[in-house]
């Protein structure tokens, strides 16, 4: 199959999908090598430039169409059921801890925050920003939490590697003397 | 009053302590424990914490601060034992540094959430497409009786969401339930006077509202429970067929 045909199929599948579709899934679907799929996806992504109403966003190894954020005003007017509920400060704190420390137990989160966090963890689970990824092999077998693709999408990260370096988030002036 | 508004923003004891440190431009490496403790306790008294769990956590840090303060008043204990030249503040400072990173990160996340909430992804999709994506996830576990019905309902409701022009009217006033499960049971029974088999979708009128769909669905579940009707799906993505049980089959 030549790239033109592959790109056409990729575009159609992406158009109807509500979840990110991975290179592996495309490769199985089209019976085409992963390298060719990756190349075509990147070409496709570049063809949706700033001016277009649709963007191709990569999430983990998957790809999905989204709207251009410039048009949000009109999308919101058009679709009544878009909810723009913002997360509370507590929720954002827990989410940032999970994002950088995953897999982490609730106890681990509470150690860092110094506050019990059950309610916030449940809210984040409900919203689909975090998920249970396993159980720690220790007394009580506590649940381990990690972030989801939804988290990456909502915060505009392509993958977890895309998260900025945590050490750049120290207050420089506050800890000046600590770097001895 | 200004205080109360400000205070409510603190997400926990570390947040409050961190706020005090920032406000006073204190170097964490040389934490003036006595000063910060009294400020912390002062602030705590201003706060009106109703939740006992929250309060106990704020009190715990106050107690920790006091403990550190008292340890620092007894320097000779540390001089005697050269092995443990540990500063009693160390543990707290380490925790605060760790916390501060995530505190700053959460501010960055907040900005990003705001920016990226304007990027909209597709949500609902037509049923035949739904099948296609589930096919891609090959390890899907298919349990008919529960999942098929739940999916069918979700599909009906999702179609409703995108074309729900009556939405605004719901909130004008509170109305009594327009549809009851009992009525809908009667309705389904009537339908099966003339038919023996019906497609699942046929039970729902295309212009139904959310409340009506849910009432009908509950009625359907009730009739399945009593054994009056059966649901059947021949192949994995076929439409669900609803059949009347034979008269003799009804369990009483």
With a cut of 70, say whether residue B78 has pLDDT above it.
no
Average pLDDT over residues B187-199: 82
Over residues B95-99, the mean pLDDT reads: 86
Q: Is B122 contained in some domain?
A: no
Q: What is the DSSP letter of B121?
A: B
Summary count for chain A: helices (H), strands (E)? 8, 6
A-chain CB neighbours of B87 within 8 Å are none
Choosing from B58, B89, B116, the residue where a domain stops is B116
Res. A37 pLDDT band, cuts 50 70 90 = very high
Between A85 and A22, whose confidence is greater? A22
Residue B3 confidence (pLDDT) above 50? no
User: Who among B29, B57, B105 is closest to A178 (CB)?
Assistant: B29
Residue to mutate among A130, A174, A177, A180, with most B CBs inside 10 A, is: A174
- B51 and B148 share one domain: no
Nearest CB to B123; choose among A18, A28, A99: A18
Task: Give the nearest chain B residue to A170 (CA atoms).
Answer: B101
Q: Which residues of A touch B103 (CB under 8 A)?
A: 93
Q: What is the mean pLDDT of residues A70-82?
A: 74
Partners of A119 on chain B (C-beta within 8 Å) are none
B131 and B244, same domain (yes or no): yes
Domain extent, residue B88, equals 2-116
Same fold, A3-73 and A89-169: yes
- CA distances for B92 relative to B35, B88, B97, angstroms: 15, 8, 9
Give the mean pLDDT of B130-150.
50
Q: Write the residue in B103, B119, B167 that is nearest to A66 by C-beta.
A: B119
Q: Which of A11, A115, A127, A151 to mutate to test the interface with B (most CBs of B within 10 A)?
A: A115
- Quick check: A18 and B121 CB within 8 A? yes
The pLDDT of B198-224, averaged and rounded, is 82
What average pLDDT does range B43-50 have in this prediction? 76
Q: Tell me how many helices (H) and strands (E) chain B has.
A: 10, 3
Pick the CATH number of A89-169 from 1.10.10.10, 3.30.930.10, 3.40.50.1000, 3.40.190.10: 1.10.10.10
Same domain membership, residue B158 and residue B191: yes
**Would you call B141 helix, strand, or coil by DSSP?**
coil
Please tell me whether residues B194 and B136 are part of one structural domain: yes
Region A80-108 average pLDDT: 84
Predicted confidence at residue B118, as pLDDT, reads: 81
| Of the listed ranges A80-84, B156-160, B221-225, the one predicted with least confidence | A80-84
* Strand positions, DSSP E, chain B: 197-199, 229-232, 241-244
In a domain, B185, yes or no: yes
pLDDT band at B2 (very low <50, low <70, confident <90, very high): very low
Domain ranges in chain A?
A: 3-73, 89-169
Task: Spell B19-46 as b/e; 16+ CB within 10 A means b.
Answer: bbbeeeeeebbebebeebbebbeebbee
pLDDT at position B182 over 60: yes
Angle at which helix A3-16 crosses helix A34-47, to 10 degrees, equals 70
In a domain, B62, yes or no: yes
- Residue A97 pLDDT > 90, yes or no? yes
pLDDT at B163 over 80: no
Note whether ipTM > 0.90 here: no
pLDDT at B231: 80
> Residues with Cβ < 8 Å from B240, sequence gap 6 or more?
B148, B149, B152, B199, B200, B231, B232, B233
The pLDDT score that the predictor gives to residue B251 is: 43
> Which pLDDT belongs to residue B130?
46
A149 pLDDT above the threshold of 60: yes
A28, A93, A102: best to mutate for the B interface, most B CBs within 10 A: A93
Q: Which residue of B has its CA nearest to A89?
A: B11
Q: Residue B62 pLDDT more than 80?
A: yes
pLDDT of residue A109: 92
The answer on pLDDT for B224 being more than 50 is yes
Where is pLDDT greater, at B134 or A121?
A121
| pLDDT value at A99 more than 50 | yes
What's the pLDDT score for residue B80? 56
For residue A104, pLDDT over 50 is answered with yes
Last residue in a domain, options B116, B143, B170 = B116
Q: Looking at the predicted structure, is the pLDDT value of residue B137 above 50?
A: no
Shared domain for B103 and B142, answered yes or no, is no
Min Cα separation A122/chain B (Å): 16
Cβ of B101 within 8 Å of Cβ of A178? The answer is no
Residues B67 and B151 in one domain: no
Residues B193 and B86 in one domain: no
Q: What is the mean pLDDT of residues A87-104?
A: 91
Q: Is the residue at B121 inside a domain?
A: no
Summary mean pLDDT of chain B: 73
What is the C-alpha separation between B225 and B222, in angstroms, rounded? 5
**CATH value at residue B204:** 1.10.10.580
Residue of A19, A55, A115 lying closest to B13 (CB–CB): A115
pLDDT at A121: 92
Inter-chain residue contact B116 with A112, CB threshold 8 Å:
no
Closest CA to A120 of B62, B102, B40: B102
Tell if the CB–CB gap between A174 and B11 is shorter than 8 Å.
no
Residue pLDDT, tens place only, B28-41: 777 788 888 888 88
Q: Answer yes or no: do B105 and B154 share one domain.
A: no
The band of A145, judged by pLDDT with boundaries at 50, 70 and 90, is very high
Number of domains in chain B: 2
Last residue of a domain, one of B116, B143, B169: B116
The residue with tokens 């497409």 is B129
- Quick check: B105 and A166 CB within 8 A? yes
- Could you please state the CATH topology (level 3) that the domain comprising A3-73 is classified under: Arc Repressor Mutant, subunit A (1.10.10)
Q: Which residue of B has its CA nearest to A75?
A: B120
CA distance B225 to B217: 12
For residue B108 the two structure tokens come to 């960055």
């Amino acid at each position: 199959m030549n790239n033109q045909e592959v790109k056409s199929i990729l575009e159609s599948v992406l158009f109807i999908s509500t979840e990110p579709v991975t290179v592996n899934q495309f490769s199985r679907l089209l019976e085409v090598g992963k390298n060719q799929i990756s190349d075509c996806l990147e070409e496709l992504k570049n063809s949706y430039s700033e001016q277009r109403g649709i963007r191709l966003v990569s999430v983990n190894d998957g790809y999905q169409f989204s709207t251009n954020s410039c048009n949000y005003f009109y999308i919101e007017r058009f679709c009544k059921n878009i909810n723009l509920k913002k997360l509370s400060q507590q929720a954002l704190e827990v989410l940032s801890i999970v994002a950088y420390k995953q897999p982490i137990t609730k106890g681990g989160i509470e150690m860092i925050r110094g506050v019990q966090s059950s309610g916030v963890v449940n809210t984040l689970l409900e919203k689909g920003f975090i998920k249970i990824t396993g159980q720690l092999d220790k007394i009580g077998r506590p649940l381990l939490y990690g972030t989801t693709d939804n988290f990456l999408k909502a915060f505009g990260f392509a993958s977890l590697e895309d998260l900025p370096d945590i050490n750049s988030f120290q207050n420089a002036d506050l800890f000046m003397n600590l770097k001895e | 009053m200004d205080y109360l508004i400000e205070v409510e923003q603190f997400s926990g004891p570390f947040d409050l302590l961190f706020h005090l440190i920032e406000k006073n431009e204190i170097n964490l490496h040389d934490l003036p424990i006595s000063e910060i403790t009294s400020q912390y306790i002062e602030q705590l008294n201003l706060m009106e914490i109703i939740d006992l769990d929250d309060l106990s956590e704020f009190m715990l840090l106050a107690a920790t601060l006091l403990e550190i303060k008292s340890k620092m008043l007894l320097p000779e204990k540390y001089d005697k034992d050269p092995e443990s030249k540990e500063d009693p503040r160390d543990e707290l400072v380490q925790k605060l540094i760790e916390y501060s990173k995530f505190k700053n990160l959460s501010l960055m996340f907040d900005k990003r959430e705001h920016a990226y909430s304007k990027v909209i992804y597709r949500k609902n999709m037509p049923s035949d497409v739904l099948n296609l994506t589930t096919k891609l996830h090959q390890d899907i576990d298919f349990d008919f009786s529960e999942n098929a019905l739940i999916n069918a309902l979700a599909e009906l409701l999702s179609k409703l969401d995108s074309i729900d022009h009556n939405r605004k009217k719901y909130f004008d006033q509170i109305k009594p339930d327009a549809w009851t499960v009992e009525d809908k049971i009667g309705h389904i029974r009537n339908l099966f006077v003339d038919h023996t088999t019906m497609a699942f979708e046929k039970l729902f009128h295309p212009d139904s509202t959310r409340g009506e769909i849910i009432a009908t669905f509950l009625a359907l579940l009730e009739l399945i429970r009593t054994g009056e009707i059966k649901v059947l799906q021949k192949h994995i993505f076929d439409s669900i067929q609803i059949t009347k049980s034979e008269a003799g089959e009804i369990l009483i």
